[in-house]
Amino acid sequence: MKGHHRLDVWKRSIEFVSAIYRLTADFPDIEKFGLISQMRRSAVSISSNIAEGAGRGSKREFRNFLSYSQGSIAELETQLIISGQLKFIQKPELEPLLNELEEISRMVIGLQKTLKVN
């Protein structure tokens, strides 16, 4: 039941959720139901899909949920870039977040490769 707890990519994605929540706490109030909500949902979705996939009964299902996680990573990357363009995030703050998100993506892809279905 707690197989996902041992996965480094899940642990790292959980830490990233906290970073996104801290970041978006400083966004303009007008974005409460816009970018703030979207970014938080995307961040939570990354780790949630890893956990749900790990809890499924087959490698094929796990791979599918890792694909969903990759989709959430792409969404969040886009939202971070938009936030930078809107000047809600400054470049020195944005770059490390994008780098960390890229590393999480690499880890998800690596995990997918270990679950190849013949």
CATH number for the domain including 25? 1.20.1440.60
Q: Which domain holds residue 9?
A: 3-114
DSSP state of 71: H
Q: Is the pLDDT of residue 46 over 80?
A: yes
Provide the number of structural domains found in the chain: 1
pLDDT (tens digit per residue) in 3-23? 898 999 999 999 999 999 999
How many whole angstroms from its chain centre is CA 22?
15
**pLDDT at site 29:** 93
Cα 52 from Cα 79, distance rounded (Å)? 24
